[in-house]
Structure 1
């Protein structure tokens, strides 16, 4: 038995009903694919996308390219769900996990962030702007980063690799090499 109400044969389906029926397989497939990548529930993603679509249809605006709109809406909903999951904290008697549970961890996490930001600022050329965009809490896409930096999206990957390699070498040089352990001969 389908969880969706059947269209009554006595009256013809509405334009939005036909659109919903035609998009059902696409929404399900996109939600399944996005849920597998992020450990999310596909049914939750589908429901949020349907709500967005129906709100848009109620406002009188059908998407021009509905397939592209569905793909974008599923990605947006999934990104929002992942960000909410990162910000959520346990309530009640459960202790909070992560760097907030003790002052030492909070201090070490803040110190790590300061060290990384300082190293990013010292990287050469366009690397500081690129790395800052990559580390942004806004979770920017490659297209958004390329637009902000005024470069082509295709050159972003190689530039990212060079900048991360430079940052990695800088941070490795700052970390003290471990001392010898055991007996020296």
Structure 2
């Protein structure tokens, strides 16, 4: 919307110059552009060629996703046992509820959130320590 108003102003300047009452002009232009955007949004439909392959199903994305999941699972396995069990249960493909996870692990349902938070913090610190800082190049040395 903001860009459209700027374009309207730039289109106006060569013919009419700057508006006399700038506040009124901006208000009216914003309202007009908002109406135009609503009208356009009602009539537009996203284009999808049914014959085109689904980009989410391309082999490169599938490989990258599998690789990311493998790295995550390996990192979770290096956590302390309690955290590893909890996060493994939370990452289960059947998307279990907190009640199901608590029953499976023999923990109270109310303690899952705080423990999960601590475990994710531990995982975050562990992964941050594995990220290597880039080497200095050129004049930076």
The bucket for the TM-score relative to the shorter chain is 0.5 to 0.7
1:176 aligns with 2:127: no
Aligned to 1:27: none
* TM-score, reference length from structure 2: 0.58
Aligned to 1:96: 54
Aligned partner (choices 45, 56, 77) of residue 121 of structure 1? 77
Aligned to 2:39: none
Aligned partner (choices 90, 93, 96) of residue 134 of structure 1? 90
- CA separation in 2, counterparts of 1:151 and 1:157? 11
Deviation at 1:111, TM superposition (A): 1.3
CA RMSD of aligned residues (A): 2.2
Change (3 A) 1:135 1:95: same
Higher relative contact order (CA 8 A, sep 6+): 2
* TM-score, reference length from structure 1: 0.45
1:102-147 deviation line (CA, Å, top 9, x unaligned) = x333222211111110111110131111001111111111111111
Change (3 A) 1:106 1:176: farther
Deviation at 1:181, TM superposition (A): 6.8
Q: Any gaps of 5 or more consecutive residues in structure 2?
A: 1-47
Q: Any gaps of 5 or more consecutive residues in structure 1?
A: 1-89
1:155 aligns with 2:111: yes
Deviation at 1:93, TM superposition (A): 1.2
How many residue pairs were aligned? 94
Q: Partner of 2:81: helix, strand, or coil?
A: coil
- More helix, by proportion: 2
Aligned to 2:99: 143
Q: Partner of 2:55: helix, strand, or coil?
A: coil
